[in-house]
Structure 1
Amino acid sequence: MIENSEFLAFAERADSPEQALAQLAALRGRYPEATHHCWAYRIGGAYRFNDDGEPGGTAGAPILRAIEGQGVDHVMVIVVRFYGGVKLGTGGLVRAYSGTAAECLRTAERFEVRPRQALGVSVPFEHLSGLYHLLSQFEVLKGEEEYTAAGVRLPVDVYPEDVPAFVTALRDATRGSAVVDGLDDT
C-alpha cells in the first residue's frame, strides 16, 4: 500500500513478445477492476513497456529499468495498481512502480537457461537401454521416439559443451551402431 493505492507485481518467464502479451491479457482478465496494468518485458534484444494511462514515463520505463537493474532476461513484469484516491505525483509513481517491480524480481525464484544443441539419434533396439542411461547421465532433453524397422530415432537437446563426450559415450555404448545427425564437425 502506498498512499491508499495497492500495487501488485507479477513476473513471469516470456520467450516471445506474443507470450508476454498473452500474460498481460490473462492478468487483465484476472484483475479487470484494477485501475492500471503497467508492464515491461525484455527478451534478448527486444523490449517494450507501457504506462497504461499513467503519466508518460512514470510506470513502464521504471519497470523496464528494474528488469535491467536485476540483470534478468526473458521476463515480463506487470504491476497492477488499484487507485486509492491519493495522487502520488510523477516522482511518487516512478518510485512506486520501480520499487514494486524491483522487489518482485529481487524475491522471485531465478534459474539459468543454457542453450542446447539439437541432435537426432538413431540406435538399434538392442541398444535402447544404453541410450536412455546416457540421457540422464548427460542431462539430455529428449523428444518423442520414432520407431523404425532398424530401431529408434530420438530427437535430443544436449548442452553444446557435452556434445563430444555424449557422442563418444553413445558410440561406445552402442558398439558404433548409433547414428547422430546435427553434428557440425564430428
Structure 2
Amino acid sequence: MSSKGATTDDITTVVGITAAEDTIKKSRFIGYCCAAPTFADGMALLDVVKGDHPKARHVCWAWQGVKTESRYNDDGEPSGTAGQPILASIQGEGLSQTFVAVVRYFGGVLLGTGGLVRAYGGTARLCLRAAENGGALGGGLGTAHLCLRAAEKTVKIPQAEVRVEAPMALVGALYAATNKCVRVREEFTADAVILTVSTERALAQGVIDHVIDATRGAAKATIVGE
C-alpha cells in the first residue's frame, strides 16, 4: 500500500530578522519575523523576544512550516484573536518556514475581539512586508542580539525529493535518519519500504549520506530527477 502527498515546490520565506511596530488605541504592538525551517528555530527567536520584553503583557506567535505544518499561540489573549490572525498573515503573504511573534504592551483600552484580530494580524503583516521591502532589525531587541542579520528580502529556497529504499527490518532506522525531512510518499512491499522525502536542495546529499550511514549501506538513496 502507499500514501501520497503533494509534489515539492520551492519554499518562499524571509531572510534574517525584521521588526515592525504599531500603536493601536494606546497599546503598543511590536512584530518580529524570521525564517524558521523548523519549529525549534521559531522558538529560539521567541526566547530572545521574551527576554528583551519581560514586561510585555502578551507575546503571541505563529509558525508556518511546509504544506500543512503550522502552530500558533494566543499567550493569554482570547482564543482565536492573536495566534490565528498572525498565522493567517504569514499564509496570506505566501510564505512557508516562517515565524512571527507579536509583542503587546497593554495601553489600558480594551480592543474587543475584532480589534485584537486586526491588531495582531495587521502587525504581523506590517512586519512581513517590511521584510520583503528590506526592513531592518529593530523594535527594541537588545544590543546582544544585533549580530543577528537584518532581513533584506524574501527568498525562495530550492527543494529536492530524496527517494530511499531499505529492507523492512530497517524501517525504524530509516525514519530516524529522515526525521527532519518532510515525508512526501511511502510505499511498502513484502520485504522493503520505499520512502520519498522533501528537503532543501543543498541538504539533499547530506540526507542521503545520513541514510546510508544509519542503515550501514543497506539502503539505496537517490535524488529524484537526477
Partner SS, residue 34 of structure 2 = strand
In structure 2, the residue matched to 1:18 is: 40
Structure 1, unmatched stretches of 5+, are 119-155, 161-180
Task: Provide the rounded CA distance (Å) in 2 between the counterparts of 1:48 and 1:184.
Answer: 30
C-alpha distance in 1, partners of 2:101/2:39? Answer: 14
Which residue number in structure 2 is paired with residue 165 of structure 1? none
Question: Could you say which structure has the higher helix fraction?
Answer: 1
TM-superposed CA distance for 1:115, in Å, is: 2.4
Percent of residue pairs bearing the same amino acid type = 42
Query: 1:32 aligns to what?
Result: 54
2:100 aligns with 77
Secondary structure class of the residue paired with 2:117: helix
Higher RCO, 1 vs 2 (CA within 8 Å, ≥6 residues apart): 2
2:127 aligned to which of 104, 111, 120: 104
Instruction: Identify, as 1 or 2, the structure richer in strand.
Output: 2
User: Does 1:89 pair with 2:93?
Assistant: no
Deviation, structure 1 residue 15: 1.0
SS at match of 1:94: helix
Instruction: Tell me the distance in 1 between the aligned counterparts of 2:203 and 2:70.
Output: 29
Deviation at 1:157, TM superposition (A): 4.2
Counterpart code for 1:90 = T
1:55 to 1:116, Cα distance in 2 relative to 1, 3 A: same
TM-score, normalisation: structure 2: 0.52
- Segments of 5+ residues of structure 2 without an aligned counterpart are 1-22, 132-152, 163-200, 206-220
- Say if 1:25 and 1:182 are closer, same or farther in 2 by CA, change over 3 A: same
Q: Shift of the alpha carbon at 1:23?
A: 1.4
| 1:55 matched to 2:99 | no
Shift of 1:105: 1.0
Tell me if structure 2 keeps the 8 A contact 1:114–1:159.
Answer: no
Where does structure 1 differ by over 4 angstroms across 4 or more consecutive aligned residues?
156-160, 181-186
Structure 1 residue 183 displacement after superposition: 6.8
CA distance in 2, matches of 1:82, 1:8: 9
What residue identity is the alignment partner of 1:69?
G
SS at match of 1:111: strand
The answer for the alignment partner of 2:144 in structure 1 is: none
- Please give the alpha-carbon distance, in whole angstroms, between the structure 2 residues aligned to 1:52 and 1:27: 14
User: SS of 2:51's equivalent?
Assistant: helix
Q: Which protein has the larger Cα radius of gyration, Structure 1 or Structure 2?
A: 1
Shift of 1:21: 1.3
- Go from structure 1 to structure 2 and tell me whether the alpha carbon gap of 1:15 and 1:90 turns closer, same or farther (over 3 Å shift): same
1:6 corresponds to 2:50: no
Task: Identify the residue that residue 163 of structure 1 maps to in structure 2.
Answer: none
Q: Which residue of 1 aligns with 2:90?
A: 67
AA of the residue aligned to 2:105: F
For the aligned residue pairs, the C-alpha RMSD in angstroms reads 2.7
User: In structure 1, what residue type is equivalent to 2:34?
Assistant: E
Query: How far off is 1:117 after superposition?
Result: 8.3
Change beyond 3 A, Cα 1:183–1:51: closer
Does residue 115 in structure 1 map to residue 138 in structure 2?
no
Does the aligned pair in 1 maintain the 2:42–2:99 contact within 8 Å?
Answer: yes
- Give the distance between the partners of 2:35 and 2:224, measured in 1 at CA: 31
Task: Kindly state the Cα deviation for residue 107 of structure 1 after the two structures are TM-superposed.
Answer: 2.1
| Cα distance between partner residues in 2 of 1:100 and 1:184 | 40
